[in-house]
């Protein structure tokens, strides 16, 4: 539109058109890293709701939202032992709006089991922070006649191939623990993979499987309620939150130790300023007295971690578990 010949002024409609044009063009302008975040962040959990990894995400996400001033939305993308959700983040835009709650299975175990998981744990990600190291607990259904590790081993040996253990899928810490237990005890227990920790926990709760190695964070409420019986913990030392439980090694399975972990990764190419902002946010949450105490009471350790430390930690863990995978003969499901 032209000027009004009587006033010499541009009609209001013309200004509206100009503003709409500018608004439409705005998304094309790259976001300055120091302006991050400008919209909600997707926090991808590569397992079904209800498992230990999911519980951890839902404890941390609201506090991250408070510190960032934008909502951090937990989104579950389960399947293939955590590989599907991990691959989803690996292929996401490196802009800080899709982050991964990384887990030992797809990041440090999958490379030794599946030569083509759909992503490269080192090349396709940048580290933000190691969040927690997580003990596993050996639990059985209350109807099981075994009330100790020794009795469980004796029962398994007397009935080769009859007992079953659940896991969150191939390559998960739960499967590693189950297969290492079989290897060190000389027992034949059948592994049954599920699409995450929650379905695996449900399976042992209903008696569909006989036993389960699973994260303390998700299983202790069931133990306290009497729905499951805990026999031992998988760490080198007893847990302060459950000092009555022996370690699996103490109970007679020498050399047994399995510890899971979680951390935050972002797609490779994410700007360093965004990585640092996320790192400061999550470490601030984990160091808050309320969250730190809540996690420690569940047996979780909250280590200090920089992005670089976490990346090296992943490389070390990958090398460590490659040896266990070979020794136990673990194969992809």
DSSP 91-107: TS-SSSSEEEEEEHIII
Mean pLDDT of 200-222: 91
* Contact assessment for residue 287 and residue 275, using Cβ atoms and an 8 Å cutoff: no
User: pLDDT digit string (tens) for 37-46?
Assistant: 999 999 999 9
* Contact assessment for residue 233 and residue 245, using Cβ atoms and an 8 Å cutoff: yes
Residues in the chain: 333
Q: Would the pLDDT of 24 be above 90?
A: no
Q: Would the pLDDT of 20 be above 60?
A: no
User: pLDDT digit string (tens) for 176-189?
Assistant: 899 999 999 999 99
Mean pLDDT of 62-88: 95
* 45 closest CA partner among 98, 95, 121: 98
* Contact assessment for residue 159 and residue 188, using Cβ atoms and an 8 Å cutoff: no
C-alpha–C-alpha distance, residues 132 and 303, integer Å: 6
Q: What is the mean pLDDT of the chain?
A: 88
Q: Would the pLDDT of 227 be above 90?
A: yes
pLDDT at 27: 45
Task: Please provide the CATH number assigned to the domain covering 34-134+260-328.
Answer: 3.40.190.150
pLDDT at 81: 82
Give strand ranges (E) for the chain.
41-45, 72-76, 98-103, 125-140, 164-167, 190-193, 211-215, 229-233, 259-267
C-alpha–C-alpha distance, residues 326 and 321, integer Å: 9
Per CATH, the homologous superfamily of domain 135-233 is: Periplasmic binding protein-like II (3.40.190.10)
Q: Would the pLDDT of 73 be above 60?
A: yes
Lowest mean pLDDT among 7-16, 66-75, 253-262, 283-292: 7-16
Domain with CATH 3.40.190.10 in the chain: 135-233
User: pLDDT digit string (tens) for 112-122?
Assistant: 888 788 999 99
Domain with CATH 3.40.190.150 in the chain: 34-134+260-328
Q: Would the pLDDT of 274 be above 90?
A: yes
């Amino acid at each position: 539109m032209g000027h009004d010949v009587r006033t010499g002024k541009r009609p209001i409609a013309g200004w509206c058109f100009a503003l709409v044009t500018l608004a439409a063009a705005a998304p094309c302008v790259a976001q300055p890293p120091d302006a991050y975040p400008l919209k909600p962040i997707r926090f991808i959990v590569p397992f079904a709701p209800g498992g230990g990894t999911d519980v951890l995400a839902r404890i941390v996400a609201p506090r991250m939202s408070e510190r960032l001033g934008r909502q951090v939305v937990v989104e579950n993308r389960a399947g293939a032992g955590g590989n599907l959700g991990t691959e989803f983040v690996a292929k996401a835009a490196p802009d800080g709006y899709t982050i991964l709650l990384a887990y030992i299975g797809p990041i440090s175990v999958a490379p030794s089991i599946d030569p083509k998981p759909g992503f490269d744990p080192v090349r396709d990600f940048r580290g933000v922070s190691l969040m927690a190291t997580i003990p596993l607990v050996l639990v059985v259904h209350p109807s099981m006649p075994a009330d100790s590790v020794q009795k469980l081993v004796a029962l398994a040996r007397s009935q080769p191939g009859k007992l079953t253990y659940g896991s969150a899928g191939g390559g998960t810490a739960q499967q590693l623990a189950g297969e290492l237990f079989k290897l060190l005890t000389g027992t034949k227990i059948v592994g049954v993979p599920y699409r995450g920790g929650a379905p695996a926990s449900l399976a042992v709760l209903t008696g569909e499987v006989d036993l389960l190695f699973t994260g303390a964070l998700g299983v202790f409420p069931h133990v306290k309620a009497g729905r499951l019986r805990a026999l031992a913990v998988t760490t080198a030392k007893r847990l302060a939150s459950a000092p009555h439980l022996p370690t699996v090694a103490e109970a007679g399975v020498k050399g047994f130790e399995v510890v899971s972990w979680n951390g935050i990764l972002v797609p490779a190419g994410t700007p360093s300023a965004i990585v640092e902002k996320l790192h400061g946010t999550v470490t601030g949450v984990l160091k808050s007295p309320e969250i730190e105490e809540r996690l420690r009471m569940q047996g979780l350790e909250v280590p200090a971690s920089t992005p670089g430390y976490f990346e090296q930690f992943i490389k070390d863990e990958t090398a460590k578990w490659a040896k266990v995978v070979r020794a136990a003969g673990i194969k992809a499901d």
